[in-house]
Amino acid sequence: MRILGIESSCDETSVAVVDCAPDGHKVINLHTNSQIMTHQEYGGVVPEVAGRKHCLNIVPTIKAAIDDLNDIDLIAVTRGPGLAQGLTVGVSATKSLALAWDIPLIGVNHMEGHLLSQLLSDEIRPSDFEFPAISLTVSGGHTDLVLVKDFGQYELIGRTKDDAAGEAFDKIAKMLGLTYPGGPSLSKAAIGGDSAAIDFPRAMRQYKNFDFSFSGLKTSVLYYIKDNPDYNLADVAASAQEAIVDILAFKTINSCNALDVKTLFLNGGVAANEELRQRLTDKCLEHEVTFIPCDKKYTGDNGAMIAMAGIHRRGFPHSEISGSKSV
């Protein structure tokens, strides 16, 4: 079965063709048109501008991804969560294609796409890990710990109470005068810095739950740079990054131990962070947990993960996109 995946929930217009077979899936084509340069001058994503860009980019991106392939069996599209302006463009394009090609479509949850994205890697086979697994999904809008009992069977066991981890990276980077998106620029600024220089807060560490909070960290960095105008950028960046990585790793491994789970997935935009990957690698080794991080080429928003979610949803009865072409 060949599936087209379409993603347009934030600032990437991304379309992929994924072949699905019993022994694994293969990403045939993936084209992503990023709007990062457009939003950089505003320091964050402007929804109205994003919607207009998706409108311009959707057809060329679909054309580039399908090339001369004409044997698509199913189209999967992000139905949410995300910016309404972008989602409308992706869903409308999908409905038009499904009607024109007379094939079914399925609407999928963007977060389920991230949650399954480590399976896109050619090296990962379902036999490499066992369920239940825990997924740490860390993006610009979410910080979720999910108990994955099986494909399609998810239980949210913890989440951020305020800002997402990626949002914390973005906002702290902005305070430090670094460019958007803040995750990559903050970790670059942290190189050579002392991560123990400033003891920024690890909120909710003493709580026996799996929830997070990052808004206090943001405030703490703001006061630190106000009180110390001659601050050392590398030290502040390294210490702020350490505060985020430390609490994410601490709560995540605690959840694996508390629920006796032996597989950990890591995905979402922040999963590209080298410090986080290394910390979880070390913790998983220490606690005998199989660590399956998403390949860096699929951590950001992309159409391949939406195709993957569509493949796994196909056997399930519901789709929240109405219309005669829905499956």
Give the residues lining the site for ligand KG4 (CB under 6 A): 10, 139-141, 166, 169-170, 181-184, 187, 268-270, 272-273, 300-301
Q: Which is nearer to ligand KG4, 3 or 190 (CB)?
A: 190
- Pair of tokens at residue 60: 């060329």
Query: Using CB distances below 5 to 8 A depending on partner kind, what does residue 253 bind out of ligand KG4, Zn ion, none?
Result: none
287 close to 259: Cβ distance less than 8 angstroms = no
Minimum separation from the CB atom of position 183 to ligand KG4 (A): 2
Query: 206: number of CA atoms within 13 Å, CB side?
Result: 1
Backbone φ/ψ region at 77: left (φ over 0), alpha (ψ -120 to 50), beta: beta
Q: Which residue has the tokens 């990062």?
A: 36
Query: Using CB distances below 5 to 8 A depending on partner kind, what does residue 35 bind out of ligand KG4, Zn ion, none?
Result: none
Minimum separation from the CB atom of position 37 to Zn ion (A): 19
The window from 100-108, 156-164, 246-254, 298-306 that contacts Zn ion (CB under 5 A) reads 298-306
Minimum separation from the CB atom of position 2 to ligand KG4 (A): 25
Instruction: Give the alpha-carbon dihedral of 51, 33, 169, 86, to 10 degrees.
Output: 20
Query: 242: number of CA atoms within 13 Å, CB side?
Result: 17
The CB density around residue 214, as the number of other CB atoms within 10 Å, is 26
Minimum separation from the CB atom of position 272 to ligand KG4 (A): 4
Q: How far is CA 277 from the centre of its chain?
A: 14
Collapse the DSSP code of 312 into the 3-class scheme (helix H, G, I; strand E, B; otherwise coil) and give the result.
helix
What kind and span of H or E run contains 89? Answer: helix 84-101
Q: Which residue has the tokens 């399930």?
A: 316
Query: Using CB distances below 5 to 8 A depending on partner kind, what does residue 170 bind out of Zn ion, ligand KG4, none?
Result: ligand KG4
DSSP state, residue 184: H
Minimum separation from the CB atom of position 155 to ligand KG4 (A): 21
Could you say whether residue 170 binds Zn ion (CB under 5 A)?
Answer: no
Could you say whether residue 144 binds Zn ion (CB under 5 A)?
Answer: no
173 close to 179: Cβ distance less than 8 angstroms = yes
Could you say whether residue 167 binds Zn ion (CB under 5 A)?
Answer: no
CA distance 45 to 177: 17
Q: Which is nearer to Zn ion, 14 or 239 (CB)?
A: 14
Query: Using CB distances below 5 to 8 A depending on partner kind, what does residue 90 bind out of ligand KG4, Zn ion, none?
Result: none
- Pair of tokens at residue 259: 């629920």
Select the residue interacting with Zn ion from 117, 121, 137, 139 (CB under 5 A).
139
Query: Using CB distances below 5 to 8 A depending on partner kind, what does residue 87 bind out of Zn ion, ligand KG4, none?
Result: none
Minimum separation from the CB atom of position 57 to Zn ion (A): 17
Minimum separation from the CB atom of position 5 to ligand KG4 (A): 15
The window from 26-34, 137-145, 204-212, 226-234 that contacts Zn ion (CB under 5 A) reads 137-145
CA distance 319 to 327: 6
Q: Which is nearer to ligand KG4, 183 or 310 (CB)?
A: 183
Query: Using CB distances below 5 to 8 A depending on partner kind, what does residue 187 bind out of Zn ion, ligand KG4, none?
Result: ligand KG4
DSSP state, residue 18: E
The window from 12-20, 132-140, 229-237, 274-282 that contacts Zn ion (CB under 5 A) reads 132-140
Minimum separation from the CB atom of position 7 to Zn ion (A): 8
Sign of CA dihedral 47, 298, 296, 150: positive
Residues of the shown chain interacting with Zn ion in the complex, contacts defined by CB under 5 A: 139, 301
